Amino acid sequence: MSERRTSNRSAGFTLIELLVVIAIIAILIALLLPAVQQAREAARRTQCRNNLKQLGIAMHNYHDTYNTLPPAYVQATVADNKGHWAWSAFLLPYIDQTPLFNTLNVNGQLPSAAIQANLGAMQNQLAAFDCPSDNGPRVHDPALDPGYAIEDATTTTNRGLALSNYVASNSTSAPRQAGRAGTDGTQGATGAFFRNSRTNFSNITDGSSNTILVGERAWLSGAQRMSAGTLYAVRDANAGGPAAQDVNPGWNQGIMTIVGTSKWGINPVLTGPNTETSASYSSQHTGGAHFLMGDGAVKFLSQNIFNIGETVAPAPINSTFEALVGIADGFVIGDY
């Protein structure tokens, strides 16, 4: 009678088989992860475009109401550090934020009073002004960036303003430059937005589809820091004309926190924390940034777009990016 043999082998995996399975899973994850990341970034870029489209609709609705685009900011007769209401505050009723507009009492009090009475509201970063690809903070740190904060009404306490990833189009020159013709400096701003500006679409003789209204600005950390923009208000903005900032405290405050310039192109190399190049347009998207045009379209412009940049003021507008910022330069724009 033959002896029945039994196997001692278990039904589970051997160590080698388990390692092979783990290796295969790791390879699949490595292959799939970039695709997942790309899909997520594509979704974030789409949301960023939608934000700017929403701001474009708001701009047009504001224009329909007042026959003008909102000003970059309204100059208030207050100490510089107390702040001035910016274009983003005036758009609140047109982006379904009428309750916030009323809470801040934009038409009835100054930003310094609003930030003292409603600190939480003034530091509330709205989704419409937040690029989801940007990994910066939601509120500016007054210790790190005092120029991105304002003092409250009755003390000298600096309160950080909410962060914005979108700035209005101001100039082909550096925003710090005072007026280049006349004491008011109105010739300094070649773009649509400056101090107390009242630009309407009839002033945009280059055509609304060829004119930038709003562009992106990123928060970039590190030694060469760019602190994006400020929401609702601007500090130290009333010196030197519509294309100027207060040059006394330095580059890290003034109108540059709410407007942008084409002078240094898109995504320039920074030379330090919040230096003059921080007045540029930038984004966390690869290769360029989104821009809202006057006709409501949103375009992604390459950081390699033809841009000469102004080196001496005044200088002619003679490159594509400059022409897209200027509202009435007559420069013929080709493909870009």
Least confident of 67-81, 124-138, 217-231, 240-254: 240-254
pLDDT in tens, 114-165: 999 999 999 999 999 999 999 889 999 998 888 899 999 998 899 999 999 9
The span from the CA of 194 to the CA of 244, in Å, is 9
pLDDT in tens, 295-326: 999 999 999 999 998 766 567 888 999 999 99
Q: Are the CB atoms for 119 and 162 separated by under 8 Å? A: no
The predicted pLDDT at position 11 comes to: 58
pLDDT in tens, 82-103: 889 999 999 999 999 999 999 9
The span from the CA of 191 to the CA of 195, in Å, is 12
- Polymer length in residues for the chain: 336
Q: Are the CB atoms for 73 and 86 separated by under 8 Å? A: yes
The predicted pLDDT at position 236 comes to: 67
Q: Are the CB atoms for 244 and 179 separated by under 8 Å? A: yes
Least confident of 59-68, 192-201, 210-219, 283-292: 192-201
Both tokens assigned to 184:
């008011």
Given a cut of 90, whether residue 231 has pLDDT beyond it is yes
DSSP 157: -
The span from the CA of 163 to the CA of 152, in Å, is 18
How many CB atoms within 10 Å of residue 296? 16
Q: Is 84 helix (H, G, I), strand (E, B) or coil?
A: strand
